[in-house]
Structure formats: C-alpha cells, structure tokens
A and B are shown apart, each in its own frame.
Chain A
Amino acid sequence: MSNRKNAGEDKDDESSGTGRPAWWLMFWRELTDLWFWGRALYLIILYSVLLGIMAFVLAANSELDLIPPKEMVFLTLQVAMAVGLFIGLIIGADSISGERERATLEGLLLAPASRRQIVAGKYLAAISPWPVALLVAVPFLFVLSQGDPVFWQALFWGGLLGSILAPAFTAFGMLVSVWSNSNKTSLFVSLTVYILFLLPTQFPGTAQAGTMGQLLKKVNPLEATNQFLEKILVNNRTLEEMRSWLIAPVLFAVLVLGLLFWYAAPRLRLDATAGRTFRLNWGRAAVLLLVVGLLVTSPALAQSSNPAFQIDIDEDYRLLLTGDELEFNTLVTYTGTEEGAPPLIVAMNIINLEGDGDPVDPEDWSPERTQYIDSLAKGESADLTWVVNPILEGDYMVYMVVIPEPDGSDATSQPVASSGIHLTVEQSTGINPGGVLPIAIGIPLLLVLVVAVLFWLRRRRFGADDA
C-alpha cells in the first residue's frame, strides 16, 4: 500500500472530468447556499444596520463639531472591516465541521474530487461576503467623508487591507473547522482567537504604550491594520513611515492560507480524529492563549507625578444646547515670592454633577484639554483660551488645575484648582445629521428588498416547500 496517496487523493486527478472542475462546482453550490438561501445575506443585513446606526451617531457627533470627517471615515472603515472579517470567520468555521455535523461531508468525500478542490471551492464561497461588506460600506464612507479626499484613500487602503485580512480570517475559521468534529468547538475556538486579536484595543492607553504595548500592536494583524489605517487616514502619515505595520497582516495571511491549502486540506478526513490530540487541546490552547495574552499585557497595564498661583475664569454659569460652543478664558497669575515659577501645565476637568459626580472625558468635549506655560516671572500672568462643546445633556462643573512641573524625577508638586463654571446642557435635536439618514435607512431596506425578491423567487421555484 506504499503507493497510496495522501488522504485518498490521486496526484493525477485534479479535475472532475469533461465538465466543470470540482472546485468550481463546490464554489457555485456553496455560493448559492450562502446567498440565495440567505445565510450570508442575513448577516450582511445585520451588518448594514450596524453601519447605519454607527454612521448616524458619528454624523450626529460631527454636527456637534467633535469628530472630523477623516476620523469618521476611519472609524466606519474599522467597523466595516471588523464585521466583514467576523462574517468570513464564522462562515469559514462552519464550512467543514458543519458538513460533518449534518452528515453531508461523506457524500462529498466520496466524489472523485481532491480534498484540496473541495476546500478551495468552499473557501472561495466563504470569502464572498467581504467584497459585499465593502460595497455596502462605500455609501456610508462617502457621506461621512463630506467631500474630503480621505474617501478615496479609505477605499483604497481599506479595500487592500481588508482583502488581505478577510481571506486570512476566513481561512483561519476553515482551518479550525477542518480539525473540529463539531461546530460548537470550531466556533468557540475561532471566536476566542478573534476576541484575543480584538482585546488589545480595549486596553487602557497606558497598556498600549511602551515597548511591550507597541510590540503587541505590531504582531497583532488586526491591531496593526487599525494602526496603519488610523495613521495614514487620520494623521496624514506616509506609507514609508508606516510600512512596518503591514508585516503582521501579510505574514498572518500567508501563514494561515499556506497551512490551510498545503497542510490541512489534503488531510481532510470524514472524522477529525487524525488530529485528535491536537484537536482536544484546541479549547485549552485557546484559553491558555487568552490567559498568556492577558499576562503579557499586564505589565503594560501596571505601568503609569508648589503653590503660589491664582486662576481666574471669565465665566461662572452658562445654559447651553448640545452642540453649542462655549469659549472662555483663564488667567493664571504667579503670586509666589521666588523669582520665577517653574513650567506649568494647565488641565481642564469636567465633572457631571448629577448622580455621583462622574468625571467626563474632556477628549469628547474639547479639542484642547491641556495647555502649557513655559514659565512665569514673579507677578506675571498668562491668558489662556478654552473651547468646550457639550455633547450630553445634564449639569456639569468645568474647572481648571494648574500643575507646576516637578523639579526632578523623584520630586512632586502641588496642583492648584480654579473656581468652576457651572454648565447646564439641554438636548438639541436633529433628525438627519450630515445627511446620513437616507443611507443609514436606505441600505438595510434595499438589502431587505433583495431578500424579499429572493424569497419570492424561491416561492415561485419551489412553491410551498420553501416554508
């Protein structure tokens, strides 16, 4: 039996005969199943609704002058890619283990097609949601870009990087599926790894800084892609500067695709027992990876500084609507006895007076949260201008803190707080911010219409069978 080929394959039989090649037949069957019968279509509708809601919120915030078009485009593209990859991942994770569970895999393995052709056909169909997801995102990106050329950049870079990552994540889902006997295992492992990739974005800023934080970002294909897109689209960085961030996504894609087509596909079995020991450890490995990921990042998480000043503010109370702009001035005077004050940092703080006095992240409310004063001579003053754009209704206190720079690395200093500005913010309502509403509602509706047409076609074709 030494001549026997790997996993029941003949080297010389790569086509199904005189008709169409087997991979094409598999691809077409899977594509019909995904789109005509709606599995992928339903996921894309959910995705379009999500994009619609997100675009509406972004456009509403933009009207409050908080988010520039570039950032809205980036955020929308980020979500479009994350969800597009997720759809590919779960379709891939179901592709083989699902056939095993439904007892339909044996029928396919009995056909005179190589295992690789079966996997290739299924794979091509499984990556089909990505171009559709990108297409659905285009009108949203266009409206949110508000005429900014970032739209074309986003389309190019998003399309390119998505077209690297979507096939990679779909292949990863399929790889897990080839080695899993049940969909439960396959989906659990795939989603755990996906969450692991997403996790670093949820860490606090301190955890993402430093050598370890940067390294984790760079080796994580999802995070590296996000960083690349953000810097290119929002921060006007050049490709030269950001090139190294492309290594992780490209390597990940090459590795996963190679593993799927050159190793796993030819070894596709009816029962995933061939890799039993490996497979049984999948779950444990996923949990271990999660723990290791958290441990590795925990040091990053752990990483994280006197008085003779007077601060005057030219406001004490204002009634505003969300989206209004409040401009005010502060006068910082050095009243100390020494010759000159050290450099000063002036920081703005906003506290919600309702409830327990939760702090408000000034990042969302003001383009400038801190200002720097080089030094002040005895009796000298510095006039600083501040802008606040309240975005949520409620009662707030805005106050400033002056922090003298400490003398040395082991020294400290005494911050000084100002009096506060009491803000009462009331809701301003607009139903079509940035003109995004027709797109946000129209795209999901259009897709629902497509589903309705397909449903009608199926009813016509199969009559009452299609219940």
Chain B
Amino acid sequence: MIQGGHSEMPGSVPPVLLAEGLRKSYGSREALRGLSFSLRAGRILGFLGPNGAGKTTAIRILTTILEPSAGSFLIDGISSDYPERIRRQIGVLPESLGFPRQISGIEYLNFFGQLYGRTATEARETGRALLEGVGLQQRGNSLIKTYSRGMRQRLGIARALVNDPVVVFLDEPTLGLDPRGQQELLAMVQRIARERDVGVILCSHLLAEVEGVCDDVVILSAGQVVAQGTVADVIGQTQRRAARRNVIRVQVPVPAMAESRQLLEALQPVSAVIPAGESTGWLRVELADSPDGNVAEGMPKVKNKILEALIRADIPIQGFEVGGGRLQEVFLQLTEEGNE
C-alpha cells in the first residue's frame, strides 16, 4: 500500500506512475486482480492483453474515471486520493473518444486548454503549437466533423497534451487507421515521449508495432499481470520458459504444413506438432521429457533431427526458433496460459 502523498524509490529516479495492488470488482466478477507496475519519464509502456483482460478498466482507474475496489497509485507523486489533482498531471486519449462535431480543431483545444486553467490567449497559442506538433496546422480552423479518423486520433493526442502532462494514456490510438496511419501515429507517440520526457502508457493490439515502439511491457490476462518488464526481458523470459518446456518453432510454406507435421510427429522425442496460425506456416513442436529429465543438453540433437527431416523431404525452412519467439507469440502463449 502506498502511504502518503509521495513515494520515493531509493537510489533511483522516482517513477512518474506507481501502481500497487489495484483491484476492481463488479459485483462478484473481478475485472482487475492486483495490478502493480511502475513507469518512468520518457519511457513507453505497452499495456497488452486480450479483450476482457482488464486493460480499459485499469486505464480508467489510473485516469480517475473509475474508483478501484482496492489498491492505490501515485502519479508524479500525487496520491490517487486526489483525483482532480491527478487529472491535471495526465493526458488521456480514451478508446473510441467522441468529438463535438460543430467545433473546429483549434476551438476544441482552446476549450480544454482553458479548462486546465490557461487564459484564452495562452490556450490558443498552446492549441496552435499542438496542432502543428500533430500535423494538423492546416486544418485547425476546419470543423471536426470534416476530419478523417486519423486526423481525429491526432487531434485526440493533441488534446491529451494540452496540459503538459507527465503521464499520457493512449488507449488503442491506432484503432481503425490504415497501416501508414498506424505507423505515423506510433512514430509520433515515440517522438512525444522522448521530446517531452513524459511517460506513455500505450494500449494496443498491434503487437509487432508495440514491440518496435515500447520500452516496457505489461501483459494482462483475466485481470492479472502475467508478464512485465522491458520488451526484451519479457521475450527472453518467455523463450527460456519455452525452452524449459521443450518447445521448438519452425516455419514452412503453408502448403507444406500438413506434410511437415506428419514428418515431425514421427520423430523421437516429438510429442506433438501444433500449427501456430494456419496462414503463417509456423508449427509449434513440443518435445517429450527425456528419461533423465535433462532436455536442454539433448536440444541440439533434436534440432538437427528436425532440420534433417525437413531438408530430406525437400521442404523449405523459412524460420526456426527455440522457444516462444517474438512478442506476438509471447502474448499468445502467456494469455493462453492465463486463461488455462
């Protein structure tokens, strides 16, 4: 439990966000079961999890829209007991944020700038600078109802920055954008975190992009954290766990998946071959435990056996990994385990 209004981490820069044991129940259903994590300034934290994992609930608690059933958090040293003060320190782009239609982009930012205590002149200047920062300077005087989805998302990000926040929450900011729009928006998020030195919490389903943009990651499943740390650490941990669990992943052309599966299942000590996505060609090869229990030592031989069987059958090997692989695989594996 966080005590008082400020928290100090000995020997290091205090985090801009520190959450401890956040829980949320709706009647008998627990949506969040003890969420604890921290975020430092200038870093981007990917908040991942399948639908219903508790991401949006967590974001709404951290942005003071919902009250937690238990637990607490600090933002820039301010306790969650002071939600209005916290709201002055955060910027939020909620999932599916609606915009007033009969108002221009600059008027929208002016309004929120003034709500945060700026004078009309200050709010207008800040609004203009933010519109330029998100590439909307040419459309600032146009009505929002004429904006595309991507433009609205960028305006939403500008609105999230209107109060110079220390933490920015972006809930699915790339939702509904085309690939180029997604890429541009994520690049903008990265630039904002670095240039403004703000902590960013990014909820997204685009795992490959998150992997490229985020420094840290928290993976939620069924309301609890199943992995957290830097992106590299989480991928590494999962790979090691996968190795301990005797998993090898191999990618072959999709038409050759059935034949490859048949070949590999016939090998010793393969216990199962499971397609990890019909359209990608990845096969998850699970190995049976050796009698002495020392699988790691026998792993190079097994790898050779698998490669040899595929080469002899003249099946092109497009990918080969020991363990869980990239963030997407880590995510699928961990959230699957969480559900089990």
Give Cα distance in the complex from A57 to B55, angstroms. Answer: 63
Pick from B81, B92, B97, B122: contact of A4, CB under 8 Å:
B81
In the bound complex, how far is the Cα of B72 from the Cα of A4, in angstroms?
10
Residues in A whose Cβ lies below 8 Å from that of B104: 462
Which residues of B64-105 are within 8 A (CB) of A?
A: 64-68, 70-72, 79-85, 87-88, 90, 92, 94, 96-100, 102-104
A20 contacts B114, CB within 8 Å?
yes
> Which residues of A have CB within 8 Å of B163?
112
Known contacts A17-B116, A25-B114; A110 and B65 CB within 8 A of each other: yes
Q: Give the nearest-CB partner of A6 in chain B.
A: B67
Cβ of B112: which chain A residues have Cβ within 8 Å of it? 107, 111
**Interface residue tally for chain A (C-beta within 8 Å):** 35
Which residues from B are CB-within-8-Å of A10? 82-85
Decide if B143 touches A466 in the complex (CB within 8 Å): yes
When distances are taken between beta carbons in the complex, the residues of chain B under 8 Å from A144 are: none
Q: Are A465 and B142 in contact (CB under 8 A)?
A: yes
**Looking at chain A's contact residues, is the secondary structure mostly helix, strand, loop, or mixed?**
loop
Whether B81 contacts A1 by the Cβ 8 Å rule is yes
Tell whether B159 is near chain A: CB-to-CB under 8 Å: yes
B63 partner residues in chain A, CB cutoff 8 A: 110
Q: How far is the CB of B207 from chain A (nearest CB, A)?
A: 26
Q: Is B117 an interface residue (CB 8 A)?
A: yes
- Decide if A4 touches B80 in the complex (CB within 8 Å): yes
Q: Which residues of A contact B100 (CB under 8 A)?
A: 33, 102, 104
**Counting CB contacts under 8 A, is A29 at the interface?**
yes
Task: Say yes or no for A127: interface residue by CB 8 A criterion.
Answer: no
Give min CB distance, B173 to chain A, whole Å: 15
Task: Check A16/B102 contact, CB under 8 A, given A10-B82, A112-B88, A270-B65.
Answer: no
Asked if B87 contacts A106 (CB within 8 A), the reply is no
Q: Mark B134-151, 1 if CB is under 8 A from A, else 0.
A: 000000011101100000
Contact A104 B98 (CB under 8 A): yes
Q: How large is the interface on B (under 10, 10 to 19, 20 to 34, 35 or more residues)?
A: 35 or more
B97–A465 CB distance below 8 A: no
Query: Could you tell me the distance between the alpha carbons of A20 and B122 in the complex, rounded to whole angstroms?
Result: 12
A29, A104, A112: most-surrounded residue (chain B CB, <10 A): A112
| A109 in the interface (beta carbon within 8 A) | yes
Which residues of B are found within 8 Å of A29, using beta-carbon distances?
Answer: 111
C-alpha spacing A114/B159, complex, angstroms: 19
The answer to whether A13 has its CB under 8 Å from any CB of chain B is yes
Residue of A whose beta carbon sits closest to that of B71: A1
**For A194, what are the chain B residues with a Cβ–Cβ distance below 8 Å?**
none
**Contact call B67/A462, Cβ cutoff below 8 A:** no
Residue of B nearest to A1 (CB): B72
Interface centre among A16, A107, A113, A462 (most CB of B within 10 A): A107
A411: Cβ under 8 A from any B Cβ: no
**A-chain residues with CB within 8 Å of residue B92 when the two chains form the complex:** 110
B119 to chain A, nearest CB (A): 5
A217 to chain B, nearest CB (A): 43
With A8-B83, A10-B83 as contacts: A112 and B67 at CB distance below 8 Å: no
Enumerate 28 A-B pairs (CB-CB under 8 Å) in ascending A order.
A1-B67, A1-B70, A1-B71, A3-B81, A5-B83, A8-B83, A13-B84, A16-B115, A18-B118, A19-B120, A20-B114, A25-B114, A29-B111, A103-B96, A104-B98, A104-B100, A106-B97, A107-B97, A107-B112, A110-B63, A110-B92, A111-B116, A112-B85, A112-B87, A112-B163, A113-B115, A270-B66, A465-B143
- In addition to A16-B116, A18-B118, 12 A-B residue pairs with Cβ atoms within 8 Å of each other are A1-B67, A1-B81, A3-B81, A4-B67, A5-B83, A8-B84, A16-B117, A25-B111, A25-B114, A102-B100, A111-B87, A270-B65
Chain B residues near A (Cβ < 8 Å): 60, 63-68, 70-72, 79-85, 87-88, 90, 92, 94, 96-100, 102-104, 111-112, 114-120, 122-123, 141-143, 145-146, 159, 163
